[in-house]
Structure 1
Amino acid sequence: MSASRCWTVRRLLLLPPASGREVSKARFLHRDHDLQKKEEEKQGGGRGMPGVWEYRVQYNPSAYHRLQPDSAVLVGTHTDEELTSGTFVSPFRQRNNPYTVRSSRHLSSAKNTLLDLAFNRGGGSKVAEQPTDSVRLPPDVRGDPRAFQRCRPEYRTMSHDLSLSPPSIAIGKAFEMLHDVTELKGSLRSADIVRFLSELGHVAPEQQPLVHSDTRFSMLLRYSVESLRLFSHAQLLEILRAFVWLNIPATHSILSLYEAEFSCRVEDMEFRELLLAADLWRCLGRQVPRYLELVYTCAARVLDQLELPELVQLLYVIGEGRRCPPALLPPLELLLLKHLNRLLPEEVGTVSLAFFKSQSSLSAGTARRLADQAHHLVEELSDYALVNVLKLLRFNHLDHRGLLWALRCEVPRRAPRMGIQGLMHVTLTCSSLHYRDDDILLAVAQCLPPLAPLCRSKDAGKLLWAFGMLGFPPSEVPQLYPCLTQAMRLKEFELQHFPQHLLTGLLGLAFLGLYPQDLLNLALSEDFVRLATGFQHLDLKKDLFTLDASVGLEIPNWKGPRISPALTEQIRQQLWTFAQQDVCLKAEVLEAEELLQELLGGEAFVQKHMILPHTRSIDLELRLDSEGCPIPLHSEPKCNAKSVKRASSSPPFWEGGHTGVMITEDLLAQLTSLRSLGQPHNEMQPYNEMPPHSKPCRVHLKKEQEDDERMFTSGVTLTSGFLEALKSPAQHPVYPQVSTGGTAQFIAVQVSTRNHFCYQSQQLLGLQLLKRRQLALVGYRVVDLPPWEWIPLLRQSRTEKLAYLQGKIFSMQGG
C-alpha cells in the first residue's frame, strides 16, 4: 500500500464514533431486524419489514405557504439550507440569516438622517434551541427553492432531483451487501464500490442508522478512499449522489477527501459535471468554498458558451455559496441580458434570489429589466418566486412602479395562503422602498394575528419595524400590534442571541408612540445593554440611544432602567461627528443656513445642530420673541433627554447655560444714562423685508481683552468685576425673557429629503413622525422645507428664496 493510501486509511480510522443515541437506535433496529428475519423464516415469507417504524421529524415553519388544516404532513420537506443533511429543525428554531433587518446598524451617507433603514448584512451568533416546554404549533410547508430545476429537461444533467427518491430496499438486502464487502475485502474493484454505495443509498431513511453504525460500512468507505483516483468522473458523481441518499453528515471527514479529489479534477471535467457536483455538495449541506472558487474560475472561461439552463444553475450555485467573484459579475450580467426574455417564472425567482444571497448589486439597468420580466410574469410567479423578486428590489433599492402597482392586486389575493415569513418579506420590502399602500398593508395585517404564534423573534421584530416605519395605524387592525408584541415575549429566549430583533421591534412601536413596559425593562436592563453593545458585527448602540431617549421624553413617570450617561454621551458625539462630515455639508442644508442668517441678521441667529440627537438628524434652530424679533444664539446647546420636561411650554434641557446675561432696554438705559436705545446695532438689523414690528430687543455682550474697554459710545466704564458678573452663566436655564415679559418661540427648521417621506407621498416615515412628535413635546415649532418646494427653489433667484423662507419662519403655521 502506498504512503498516501496509508495516510488516508489512518485518517478514516480516526473517524469519530457514532453518538450514543444513534448506536442505541441502531442496536434496537438490528435486534428488531433479527427477530423479524427469524419470524419470516418460520413463515417462509420474504416480505419486507412491516410498517412498525414511526419516524417523526420536525419541520421549519413555512416561509411562503400556510399549512391547510387538512393537509398531510410531508416527511422530508426541509429548507434549502437543510436539504438531505439529515438535520431536522424545530419549528421555532431561529435561523441565522445574514440578511436580517437593521434599523440603524451603521451610519448612512445617502440620506439627510443618520438612521440607516437598510438591512444588516453581517452574520449572527449561533442559535438557541426552543425550550422543551414551548407550545408546539402545526408547521407550514415552505416553497421549494429547487422548483426551477423541474422547468426544463436540461437541468437533469446538472442537478440532483430530491423529489425522485429511489425505491427502498429491505434492510436484509443491505446487510447482505455489507457481508459481501467483508468477503471481497481488498479484491473490491472500483465498479463494485460504486455499486454497493449506490444500492445502499436505497435503504429507507429510518433504517439508515443501522447502516451508518455498521463497521462493514466504515470498511466500505475506507476502500472507496483507497480507490479515489481510480474512479471515473461519472463514478465519483455517482458516489456523491449515494452519499446524498445515505444522508451522510456534512461534517463527516470522508467528505473532505472527496472535496479535494473533485477540486483536483475541475480542469478535466465538463462544466455540466462541475455544476452537478456543486449541486450535490449543496444537497449534502456542506460548504465547499475552495471547490466553488475553482468552478467560478472555469466559468469565466466558458461563460460565452453557456446556455440559459446552465446560466441559471450557475447563478443558483453562486447564491447558495453566498459569494460572487467581482470579476465574474459584469459578464454574468451581459449573459443574463441576452437570455432575460426567455426566463420562466421560477427561473426569475431563482436568479433574483441568487443576486440577493450573494450580495451582488446589479447595475440599475439590469435590475430594472429583470424586474420588468417579473412584472410580465407576475401572475404566474409562485409565492416563493415573487418574494425572491421583492428581495431583489429591496437589495437594489429599485422602485419598479409597475411591479409595485401589481402588488396591490397580488398581495391581497395571495396573503391568506402565505406563511409568516412570506408576509414578513412583503411588508419589509414595502418598508425598505418606503412604499405605503394601504391595500397591501391591510391584507397582510389581517392575516397576521392567527399566525403570530409561529413568529420567530426576527419575524416579529421586522414586522413591527415595517408597519411602524410606514405609519400603519393601530386602529386599522387592533389585534396586530398586541399579537406581534406577544410573539416577541414568547421568544424571549431567542433575544439573548439576537438582541437586534428586540430593538428593531421596539423602535417600530416607538414610531407609533407605543411602549410595552415589560419589553422596555428588558431592553434597557444593564445585562441586555451589555449584551447588545458587546456585538462586534452589529452597531446596536444607536438603537439603544434612540429607544432610551424616547422613553425619557414620552414616558415622564418611567421608573425602569436607563442607559448610562457615559454611553449616551459617547453615542451623541459619534452621531454629531458623522453629521458634521455628511449631512451638514449637503448643498440644500448649507443654502438654507446661509439664507436664514441673511434673513435674521447674522450667524448668531441660526444654529445648526442636533436638537434631539437620538433622532439622528440635524436641525437649523432659530428663536423669536413674542413680537417676532429674532433672538441670537451663541452657545452650542447640548440636549440631554433625561432632563427634558414633558411640557409644550418648556424649553429643551441645555448642558450649561448661555454665557452672559440678557439686557433689557431699561437696564441699558440705566447703564448708559440714556432713555432709549435708538437704532439697533448693525449686526441685529433684520432682512429689509421683515415686518416693521419685528425689531430685535436684546444684545449679547462679548468678552473683551481689556478690563476697562468701553462697549458703548456713551455709557459707563465696565470694570472687570462688573463684566464678569455680566458674563457669569445662569444658574437655571429658562426661557429667555424679552422686554415685554413674553415667552420666546423655539423653531426647528427641517431641511427634509425624499427619504423622509413615503414613496410619491407627503406621508412622513416612522422616524420623522417620532421626531416631529417629540420636538413638539419639548416646545419647538417645526418649520419644514420639503424637497418638492425647496429643491426647485435652489435654482431660483436669491430674492425668491428669501421671500419663501420669510413666509415660512414668520407664519404661525410654520410650513
Structure 2
Amino acid sequence: MASSLRHLLGVNDFPSGNTYSILKVQPEYFPPELETPSVLSHHRKPTTPDDAVDIRAFIKCRSAYAAVTLDLTLRPYPIQWEEAVLLLKKVADLKGSLKTSDVSQIFTELSRLHPDKMSLVRSDQRFIMLLRYSVELLRLFTERELLEVLQAFVWLDMPSKHAVLSLYEAELTRRVHRMNLDHLLLAAYLWRCIGKRVPQFLTHLYKSVLLNLGQIGVPELVQLLFIMGEGRKCPTDLIRPLEQLLMLHLPQLYPEEVGIVCLGLFKSQTSISETAVTCIVDKAHSVVEEMSDFAMVNVLKFLRFSYLYHRLWMEAMAQEVPRRAHRMGIQGLMHVALTCSALHCHNDNILMAIAERVPSLASHCRIKDSCKLLWAFGTLGFQSVQSSSFYPSLIAALRQRKAEFQRYPEHLLTGLLGLVFVSQFPKDLIELALSPDFVNLALKSKQLELKKDLLTLDGAVALELPQWTGPRLCSELKEDVAKMLWKFAQSDVCLKPEVQEAESALQDLLGGERYVHKRMILPHTRSIDLEVHLDSTGLPIPVNPESHAPTAPHEDSSTKSPPNQGWGKKNLGVTLTDDLLAQLMNSKKSTEPLTSSYKVKPTSLHRVDQDEGDSLFNTGLDLTSDITEALIKPSRSALQDSKGPVKLAIQVPSRNHYFYQSQHLLGLHVMKRRQLKLAGYRVVDLSYQEWFPMLRKSRAQKLAYLHCKVYNSLT
C-alpha cells in the first residue's frame, strides 16, 4: 500500500527538503473549473452584503444535524502556537512509530490553532512529514479516524487541490460499502466544506441512499438535498424516491429547511411533479414570514426552474420583498428579479423595491448580477421613472468591469439586450460587443449559443441607431443565423394551429396564397410574421414570392379585385353576435373582451365544406351577398386617410409573449413592434386573448374578425 501511494504521488522517497513541493498537486490533474474555494477561505475575503448570508443556517434547526454536518460557526477551543510547536516536535520524535490514532489526534489538535497561524503550520516540514505518515497509514485508519482527519483538514483550510486530498478521497470511496449512511453524508459534507468536488464518491453515496431509503428521516433528507445541490446533480433513479420522501416529511420541515430543499432541487436541476412543487411552495407560503431572506430567495429560484406561477406565493412576495429589500444583497435581489422575469410577473411593488436598492449596491455587483438584473428589468419593460438611477448605476458598473467580459462574453450580451428592450443604447458597450475581436470570442464559446444574441443586438442597432458608424456583424454571419432561426421556426411556430389558421383565413379573405407571406420580416426578433401589402385603395397586392399563382402580364394588381374564393357564395350559417354585427357594419368596436379566460385551449380545426355547412350551422344566419360584400370590401372610412401602399405585419403571439394574466407584451416583443414600425410596417396584433377563442368559432366569424383587424389598421 505504501509503495502504491508513493507511486501515485510520484515519490520513491520523502526527503525533508522538498516534500511539500512533491505533495502539491499538478494543475493538469485537477482542472481549475472542477475545484471551488474552501468555505473558510471564502469567509476571509472582503465582505459584501451577500456574504452575511449563512447558507448552512438549516443545521441549527435540529440537534440531529450534528451527526451529518460540521457547524463552521463553532470553531474548536483554540490552542496557543507553543502547543502546536510541541505537537510538531512529537511528529519529529516519533517518526515511523506513529500510530493512526496519533496521526488523527495530532491533526485534530493542530486544527484548533488560530486561523492566522494555519499557513505557518501547513508550510512546516514536520507537518508535511505528518501528511506523509498519514498516507503511509491510510488503509489502517478506522472510518471514524478518517472522518476526524477530514474534519481537521476543514479547519486547517487545506487547499482543495492538494494531492493528499485525492488519496483520502480514493480511500473513502473504496470504503463506502463499509460506511453507514450518516458517515457517508458527513464525509460528503466535509468535502464540500473543503471545496473539493468528489463526483465518484457522491455516486456511491447516492447508490447507498437507494439501498437505505427506510433510514432517511428529515435531517438526512435535507442534508442529502443540500449535497446534491452543491454537487449539481441528482441521479435519475433517485428522483422519484426523493419526491415521495419529500411529500412524506414536508409537514415536519422548518422554514429554513424548506429553503434548503428548494435550493438543492434548483441547483441539481431536479424536475419533480407539478403537484409536488405546488405542495412545497404551499408549505413555504405558510411559513414565509418566518423565513430568512436566503430561504425565501431559494423558493423563488425553484419556482423559476419549475416555471410554475404560484399565485399566493407571488402575492406574498409583493409584500415581503419591499419589506426586506433594504437589507438584501445584490445576488438575492437579482434572483428575485430573474424569477419575476421568468414567470412573466410584472409587479410594481417588487420591481420598485429592487430598483431603489440596487444603486447603493452597484459597486458590489458581479457582472453576472448586473447583466441579469438588466435582462430581467428589460424583459419586464421596467421604465426607470421614480428610480432614475437604476439603469445608470448598473451601466456604470459594467463599464468599471469591462475586462471581465473577455471571460464571460455571454453576460455582456445579456445585459445589452435587456437595455435594448427598453430603448437604452450605451454606445461604448455596444461598440465593444459588436467589435470583431469580441464577436470572435463569443463565437468560440462551445457551451453557449451566442450567435442569436449577437444578431438581435446588431439588428436593433441597425434600426434604432440609423447614424451608427461603429462595428456591425458581417453579412455572412447574419445570413447564417437568419437561416438557422427560420429553419427552427418552420419546424416549430409555423406549425402551430393558431398560425396556420390565421394564414389560411387571411388567404381566403384577401384572395389567395400570393397575398399573404409567412416569413421573418426582422429575423433578429426571432419570430415570424404574416406579411400583407395593400394598395392605396385598400386592395391587396401580391407579396408572396413562393406562390406560383399566374398573373396576367399587363394586369394592374392595384385596380383588380382579388379573386373570390367562393366562400361567400356557400350556403353557410353563422351565429350572429353583437360583436360580429359591429364588425360587419364597421360600427364602434365592442369594449367587452371576446373571452375572459386566460387559459383557453383551441379545439381541433378543419375547413367546412359546402355540404357540411348546413348541418353544422343550420341554426345560424345564412350569409347573404350583402354580408359577403361587407367582408370582402375594404372599409371606406378606413381608407380615407390611407396614402399609397401599406405594408402590414400581422402578429400571432402566444400566451408566453405577455405578462402573466395581462395584455402587456414582454420586452422582446415590445421591441419587435417598435422596430417593425421603424422599418415601415403597420403592426396588426391578433392578440392571444382575442384570436385563440376565435379559433373555436365558425370560418365566417374568423373572416369577419380578420377583416376588422386588417382594415382598422389603416386608420
TM over 0.5: yes
Give 1:261 deviation, angstroms.
1.2
Indicate yes or no: 2:14 matched with 1:86.
no
| Change beyond 3 A, Cα 1:140–1:304 | closer
Distance in 1 between residues matched to 2:285 and 2:55, nearest whole Å? 20
Aligned mate of 1:664, from 527, 544, 556: 556
Matched with 1:405 is 315
| Change beyond 3 A, Cα 1:692–1:421 | closer
Distance in 1 between residues matched to 2:207 and 2:304, nearest whole Å? 29
Matched with 1:414 is 324
Indicate yes or no: 2:401 matched with 1:491.
yes
Indicate yes or no: 2:463 matched with 1:571.
no
Distance in 2 between residues matched to 1:336 and 1:178, nearest whole Å? 48
Percent of residue pairs identical: 50
Give 1:683 deviation, angstroms.
6.0
| Change beyond 3 A, Cα 1:608–1:264 | same
Give 1:207 deviation, angstroms.
1.1
Matched with 1:586 is 496
Distance in 1 between residues matched to 2:714 and 2:353, nearest whole Å? 36
Matched with 1:338 is 248
8 Å CA contact 1:628, 1:694 repeated in 2:
no
Give 1:504 deviation, angstroms.
0.9
Indicate yes or no: 2:657 matched with 1:756.
yes
Matched with 1:514 is 424
Count residues with an aligned counterpart.
638
Give 1:431 deviation, angstroms.
0.6
Give 1:83 deviation, angstroms.
3.8
State the Cα RMSD in Å.
2.8
Unaligned runs of 5+ in 2: 25-34, 569-624
Map 1:420-431 onto structure 2 (within 5 A). 420-431=330-341
Asked which structure has the greater CA Rg, the reply is 1
Distance in 2 between residues matched to 1:5 and 1:581, nearest whole Å? 57
SS in 1 for 2:66: helix
In the TM superposition, what whole-angstrom CA distance separates every residue of 1:741-783 from its partner, at most 9, and x where no partner exists?
9511111111111111101111110011001111111221111
In the TM superposition, what whole-angstrom CA distance separates every residue of 1:721-747 from its partner, at most 9, and x where no partner exists?
xxxxxxxxxxxxxxxxx9x99511111
In the TM superposition, what whole-angstrom CA distance separates every residue of 1:397-428 from its partner, at most 9, and x where no partner exists?
01000000000100000000001111111111
| Change beyond 3 A, Cα 1:241–1:634 | closer
In the TM superposition, what whole-angstrom CA distance separates every residue of 1:575-620 from its partner, at most 9, and x where no partner exists?
1111111110001111111111111111111111111111000011
| Change beyond 3 A, Cα 1:212–1:694 | same
| Change beyond 3 A, Cα 1:391–1:140 | closer
Indicate yes or no: 2:138 matched with 1:228.
yes
Map 1:17-96 onto structure 2 (within 5 A). 82-84=37-39, 86=41
SS in 2 for 1:86: helix
Distance in 2 between residues matched to 1:547 and 1:177, nearest whole Å? 63
8 Å CA contact 1:86, 1:249 repeated in 2:
no
8 Å CA contact 2:307, 2:343 repeated in 1:
yes
Map 1:668-707 onto structure 2 (within 5 A). 682=563, 689=627, 691=629
Matched with 1:59 is none
Matched with 2:370 is 460
Deviating more after overlay: 431-440 vs 211-220? 211-220
Give 1:359 deviation, angstroms.
1.1
8 Å CA contact 1:595, 1:802 repeated in 2:
yes
Matched with 1:527 is 437
Unaligned runs of 5+ in 1: 23-79, 92-136, 638-657, 667-676, 697-737
Distance in 2 between residues matched to 1:778 and 1:681, nearest whole Å? 27
Matched with 1:299 is 209
Distance in 2 between residues matched to 1:354 and 1:763, nearest whole Å? 34
Aligned mate of 1:777, from 664, 675, 678: 678
Give 1:241 deviation, angstroms.
0.8
Aligned mate of 1:476, from 386, 392, 408: 386
| Change beyond 3 A, Cα 1:11–1:150 | farther
Distance in 1 between residues matched to 2:554 and 2:676, nearest whole Å? 25
| Change beyond 3 A, Cα 1:552–1:331 | same
In the TM superposition, what whole-angstrom CA distance separates every residue of 1:418-452 from its partner, at most 9, and x where no partner exists?
01111111111101110000111111111111111
| Change beyond 3 A, Cα 1:636–1:770 | farther
Distance in 2 between residues matched to 1:693 and 1:375, nearest whole Å? 53
Matched with 2:99 is 189
Matched with 1:804 is 705
Indicate yes or no: 2:110 matched with 1:200.
yes
Give 1:474 deviation, angstroms.
2.4
| Change beyond 3 A, Cα 1:662–1:492 | farther
Matched with 1:216 is 126
8 Å CA contact 1:12, 1:254 repeated in 2:
no
Indicate yes or no: 2:167 matched with 1:257.
yes
Distance in 2 between residues matched to 1:772 and 1:220, nearest whole Å? 70
Distance in 2 between residues matched to 1:18 and 1:372, nearest whole Å? 54
- Equivalent residue letter for 1:334: Q
| Change beyond 3 A, Cα 1:13–1:545 | farther
Aligned mate of 1:631, from 541, 547, 553: 541
8 Å CA contact 2:486, 2:520 repeated in 1:
yes
Map 1:69-468 onto structure 2 (within 5 A). 82-84=37-39, 86=41, 140-468=50-378
Give 1:693 deviation, angstroms.
11
- Equivalent residue letter for 1:664: D
- Equivalent residue letter for 1:777: L
Distance in 1 between residues matched to 2:490 and 2:557, nearest whole Å? 38
Distance in 1 between residues matched to 2:467 and 2:447, nearest whole Å? 35
Distance in 2 between residues matched to 1:360 and 1:388, nearest whole Å? 14
Distance in 2 between residues matched to 1:604 and 1:310, nearest whole Å? 66
- Equivalent residue letter for 2:508: E
8 Å CA contact 1:349, 1:388 repeated in 2:
yes
Deviating above 2 A after TM superposition, structure 1's stretches of 4 or more consecutive aligned residues are 1-19, 80-91, 137-142, 658-666, 679-696
8 Å CA contact 1:601, 1:685 repeated in 2:
no
Distance in 2 between residues matched to 1:468 and 1:2, nearest whole Å? 61
Select the structure with the greater relative contact order (CA < 8 A; seq sep ≥ 6).
1
Give 1:177 deviation, angstroms.
1.3
Distance in 1 between residues matched to 2:552 and 2:422, nearest whole Å? 41
8 Å CA contact 1:572, 1:614 repeated in 2:
yes
TM-score, normalised via structure 2 length: 0.85
Give 1:185 deviation, angstroms.
1.7
Give 1:491 deviation, angstroms.
1.0
| Change beyond 3 A, Cα 1:742–1:663 | farther
Map 1:646-661 onto structure 2 (within 5 A). none
| Change beyond 3 A, Cα 1:193–1:598 | same
Distance in 2 between residues matched to 1:302 and 1:88, nearest whole Å? 35
In the TM superposition, what whole-angstrom CA distance separates every residue of 1:247-295 from its partner, at most 9, and x where no partner exists?
1111111111111111111111110011011111111111111111001
8 Å CA contact 1:629, 1:694 repeated in 2:
no
8 Å CA contact 1:549, 1:614 repeated in 2:
yes
Distance in 2 between residues matched to 1:476 and 1:6, nearest whole Å? 67
| Change beyond 3 A, Cα 1:590–1:84 | closer
